[in-house]
A and B are shown apart, each in its own frame.
Chain A
Amino acid sequence: MAEIALRDVRKTFGRGRDAVTALDGCTFTVPDGEFVTLLGPSGCGKTTALDLVAGFTASTAGRVTVGGREVTRPGPERAVVFQDSALFPWLRVEDNIAFGIRMAGRPAREIRERVDRLLERVGLTEFRRRYPAELSGGMRQRVSLARVLALDSAVLLMDEPFGALDAQTRGLMQEFLTGIWERDRRTVLFVTHDLDEAVFLADRVLVMTARPGRIKQELQVDLPRPRAPDIMATPRFHALRDEIRRLVRDEAIRTMRPLATERGAS
């Protein structure tokens, strides 16, 4: 079981006058083996929520649990894919992928075999001796995905992993990720601000409010699997996306309100 659960979580950064509350009363669950996307206007605390689950920061109040156990620090049972890859620039592709398995102290032969298999899975076998700087953005994110799959984690946390890619590459990466996920169904929490992406990938979409963030609404995505990009042309997809668009728009407007009143006053 690797269920992610946040119960009444608050997270405040800074102190006194400079204090910013990123999350307040944030409660949600990602059931074991489900793909959940977390969607919301920029600055709403999506990434903060993900950092809490990853164990990079601690909550100010409330409980964050994975598989029933309180999260206290980062660890390989909760793998993270960052925006803009965050690969080790001094390691070749194959060594980046092997890093986590090496940390786990696996024997050399097993490491080699697993790296070979993963390279093949992400289609980068012929680039194994390259450094990250020599790859395109899409290739780098495939390496990030491979190094995380190597950990064999029950939980996958993804923070706008395709946000920095061009639309074409992003579409291909979404398709690629769906294919991988549909094979071994890990628990995934995927942060994004892209509506199509949120609906296409997810079993369930969580829409967040403007800061301080909490869950505004939860929507079941009842589109059939396996999914291919042509699903985005179906009426059901459009209906879901439009409903979510409305929800997010309301929140985005709320974050813009100070701006609107300023303009009205002048």
Chain B
Amino acid sequence: MLWQLSVSAGLVRAELLPGPGEVSATLLDLVFANSGAAGRYSGDWPEHATASLIRVYAGFALAVAAAVPVGIGIGSSRTFERVVDPTIQLLRNIPITGFVPIAIVLFGLGDRPAIYLIALAAFFPTVVNTSYGVRQIDQRIVRSALMMGAGPFQRLVRVILPAALPAIFTGLRLSMGVAWVLVVVAEFIGVRSGLGYLLFDAYQFFAPHVMLATMFSIGLLGFVSDRLILLIRLRVLAWNRLGTLRG
């Protein structure tokens, strides 16, 4: 509303910041090639979105596959924690964008450095939350399992994992958010596909309506990804509904 009003009233120049009406028309044309509003980008969106989605989900999957076991290790073993945790905390504090050059050196151009960067960035929120989730498990719950004769594997699968799952899901949501941030950064360089590339290309050829439409669509995909995780959480964690203080 405020956005449309300020554009209509001439507070900002429409050629620099197009109004929401123009941006939505552009987005629709980007996706469906129905009006030509996106100019030479008309109908390009599905291809770029697919490329980005593949990178995000591949990177996210790799990150989670590594982060959950490592997080459980850190949370349940003092020795493991001492060995691994300082390294993780150190790496975590290097801005992920700082890894861009090394990713290109290691993996060259194309999908692989992008997926690597996304996986690296998405690893940290899940590993930190998983280890926290394991650490905060009530000791009596573990003792209950011991007393009822559960072996190490059964304790892991039937007690530690389910008990840590609410915290793990928090990590997954944060990781997914980070993955969408990183896909844009990663696609600025070294690739010729993806929404980040589209955004950067629109910037270089000065098409602000396409830039805004692309940004909005990235936000939308990120939002849908988050809802997807919440949906899975709802099904898996029926016992642990997300409530607020006011119910």
Residues of A near any B CB (own CB < 8 A): 54, 56, 73-76, 78-80, 82, 84, 86-91, 99-100, 103-104, 131, 133, 147, 151
Beta-carbon contact of B146 and A56 below 8 Å? yes
Least distance between A170 CB and chain B CB atoms (Å)? 20
Are A88 and B148 in contact, CB atoms less than 8 angstroms apart?
A: no
Find the residue from A79, A82, A90, A133 having the highest chain B CB count within 10 A.
A90
User: What's the nearest-Cβ distance from chain B to residue A192, in Å?
Assistant: 18
User: Is the CB–CB distance between B162 and A90 below 8 Å?
Assistant: yes
The reply to whether B143 and A90 contact each other, CB–CB distance below 8 Å, is: no
Q: Are A90 and B147 in contact (CB under 8 A)?
A: no
> Which residue of the partner chain A has the closest CB to B161?
A90
Q: Is the CB of B148 within 8 A of A86?
A: no
Residue B8 interfacial (CB < 8 Å): no
Q: Jot down 15 A-B pairs with beta carbons below 8 A, ordered by A.
A: A54-B147, A75-B146, A75-B147, A75-B149, A76-B148, A79-B147, A80-B143, A80-B147, A84-B140, A88-B162, A89-B239, A99-B158, A103-B148, A104-B149, A131-B238
A88 in complex: contacting residue of B147, B151, B154, B159, CB < 8 Å: B159
A147, B165: Cβ atoms under 8 Å?
A: no
Cα–Cα distance between A128 and B240 once the two chains are bound (Å): 18
B239 → A minimal CB distance (Å): 5
| B side interface size, CB within 8 A | 22
Of A54, A82, A84, A133, most buried by chain B (CB within 10 Å of CB) is: A82
Residue of chain A at shortest CB distance from B165:
A90
Q: Is B207 an interface residue (CB 8 A)?
A: no
Complex Cα distance, B148 from A103, in Å, reads 7
Residue of B nearest to A151 (CB): B148
Contacts of A79 in B (CB 8 A): 147-148
- Beyond contacts A56-B143, A90-B165: 18 other A-B pairs, Cβ-Cβ < 8 A, are A54-B147, A74-B146, A74-B147, A76-B149, A79-B148, A80-B147, A82-B140, A86-B140, A88-B144, A88-B159, A90-B237, A100-B148, A103-B148, A103-B151, A103-B154, A131-B238, A133-B239, A147-B148
Tell me which residues across on chain A come within 8 A of B100, comparing CB atoms: none
Q: Does B163 contact A (CB under 8 A)?
A: yes
Interface string of B206-247 (1 = CB under 8 A from A): 000000000000000000000000000000011110000000
CA distance A90 to B140 in the complex (A): 15
A95 — nearest CB in chain B belongs to which residue?
B158
Residue of A nearest to B151 (CB): A103
Are the C-beta atoms of B240 and A89 separated by less than 8 Å?
Answer: yes
Q: Give CA–CA (A60, B116) in the complex, Å.
A: 51
Cβ-closest 7 pairs across A and B:
A100-B148, A86-B140, A76-B149, A74-B146, A103-B149, A90-B162, A131-B239
| Bound form: Cα–Cα A103–B151 in Å | 8
Residues of A within 8 A of B147 (CB): 54, 74-76, 78-80
Of the candidates B138, B149, B151, the one having the most CB atoms from chain A within 10 angstroms of its own CB is: B149
Q: What are the interface flags for B110-154 relative to A under an 8 Å C-beta threshold, 1 for contact and 0 otherwise? A: 000000000000000000000000000010110111111111001
- Least CB distance from A262 to B in Å reads 34
CA distance A79 to B146 in the complex (A): 10
Which residues of chain B come closer than 8 Å to A103, judged between CB atoms? 148-151, 154
Pairwise interchain contact A86-B150, C-beta atoms closer than 8 A = no
- A93 to chain B minimum Cβ distance, whole angstroms, is 11
- Chain A residues lying within 8 Å of B146, measured Cβ to Cβ, are 56, 73-75
Interface centre among A54, A89, A151 (most CB of B within 10 A): A89
Taking the nearest CB of chain A, how far is it from the CB of B245, in angstroms?
16
Q: Provide the residues of chain A in CB contact with B163, threshold 8 Å.
A: 88, 90
The distance from the CB of B145 to the nearest CB of chain A, in whole angstroms, is 8
Cα A91 to Cα B145 in complex, Å, equals 13
